[in-house]
Structure 1
Amino acid sequence: MRIDLVLAVLDVPGQLVRVLEPISGLGANLVTVIHKRDIKDDKGKIPVQLTLEGERDSLNRVIDKFNELEITILEIDGIVRKIKVSTILIGHIVDSDIRDTMDKINEIDGVYVVGFDIQLNGENKSSALLNIEADVDKKQLAFDRVEQIANEKQLLMINEV
């Protein structure tokens, strides 16, 4: 069996070795490595493409090891990994334009509001649960944007519910 992975690896000496080291010990074979040092994200991470061969169990152990080592897997076999995160906004949500809030979050490439549940309390402050789906490497960017919007609209933000 063969699997293609795209990882986000910190662009510092020794990180590529850290990624490659566990592969053979877990029963998989490295077929190709593409190390793209000219493409760096805002956290100083670069994409590293790997093609691995092995039994399904061996490849699963490699993926588990990457997760254990907190190595971000961006794609598996061309499918971008997504994560779901939630945050709560408290304040005058309706008065501060719900649509504008969602549009500003959805402007981020790879980040989407997939749920917006609001609890109204008459003229008092309301609360909203935002469910956001983001590419795995865009989680912090999504939270930063929601925090910026909350500050602009004088809303209280509670992350990771």
Structure 2
Amino acid sequence: MRMNLVLELLDVPGQLVSVLEPISGLGTNLVTVIHKRDAKNENGKIPVQITLEGEQENLNNVIKRFNDLGINIIEKDGVINKEFISTILIGHIVDKDVRDTTDRINALDGIYVIGFDIRLDGEDKSTALINLEVAYGKKQFAFDEVKKIADEKDLLMINEV
């Protein structure tokens, strides 16, 4: 059985080797590697496409090992591994530095602000709807980390249900 993965790795020496090392030890074969160094994102990470071959159980063990190592799998067999979530912040959002808030969220691994709509009400508290793109499986992590930022800035956070 074959499986195609696109991984997101830091563009630093040794990263690719650390990813390739567990593959043979878990009973799978590496068929192809496409290392796209010219496609670096804003976090200094690059996509690396790999094709693996092996028994389904062994392929699942490789994915588990990648997750254990904190390697972000952004695509598996052509399916993008991300979720879209929304949260609302209420408070003095503008006074608490909107740019800092979005920069801190974007600095979180696998979490990106894709929409930020703010409603101002004069000098009263404002409301912001934040739409996030989150790596698959990091939904609760995203909510927890944004909550820390909101608490620090004395903002009320309301999550989607």
Name the TM-score, length of structure 1 as normaliser.
0.61
- Counterpart CA distance in 2 for 1:157 and 1:9 is 34
TM-fit CA distance, 1:89: 1.5
CA 1:160–1:11 in 2, change beyond 3 Å: closer, same or farther? farther
Change (3 A) 1:127 1:78: same
Match of 2:68 in 1: 68
Q: Which runs of 5+ in 2 are unaligned?
A: 93-111, 117-123
Mapped partners of 2:37, 2:76: distance in 1: 20
The corresponding residue for 1:119 is: none
SS of residue paired to 2:49: strand
Aligned to 1:97: none
How far the C-alpha of 1:134 sits from its partner, in A, is 1.9
2:84–2:132 contact (8 Å) kept in structure 1: yes
Residue matched to 1:156: 155
Q: TM-score, normalised by structure 2?
A: 0.61
Distance 1:127 1:79 in 2: 34
CA contact (8 A) 1:80 1:135 kept: no
CA distance in 2, matches of 1:46, 1:66: 16
Alignment partner, residue 34 of structure 1: 34
1:1-161 superposed matches below 5 A: 1-85=1-85, 87-91=87-91, 111=114, 132=131, 134=133, 136=135, 156=155, 158=157
Cα separation, 1, equivalents of 2:159 and 2:14: 32
Q: CA deviation at 1:132?
A: 4.7
One-letter amino acid matched to 2:51: T
Q: How many residues align?
A: 125
Flag structure 1 segments of 5+ consecutive residues without an equivalent. Answer: 93-108, 114-123
State the distance in 2 between where 1:72 and 1:159 align.
27
Give deviations 1:67-92, integer Å, cap 9, x for gaps: 11001101000111113545342249
Q: What residue number does 2:100 align with?
A: none
Distance 1:7 1:73 in 2: 5
SS of 2:42's equivalent in the other structure is coil
Structure-1 separation of matches of 2:135 and 2:14:
23
Percentage of matched positions with identical amino acids: 60
Partner SS for 2:17: helix
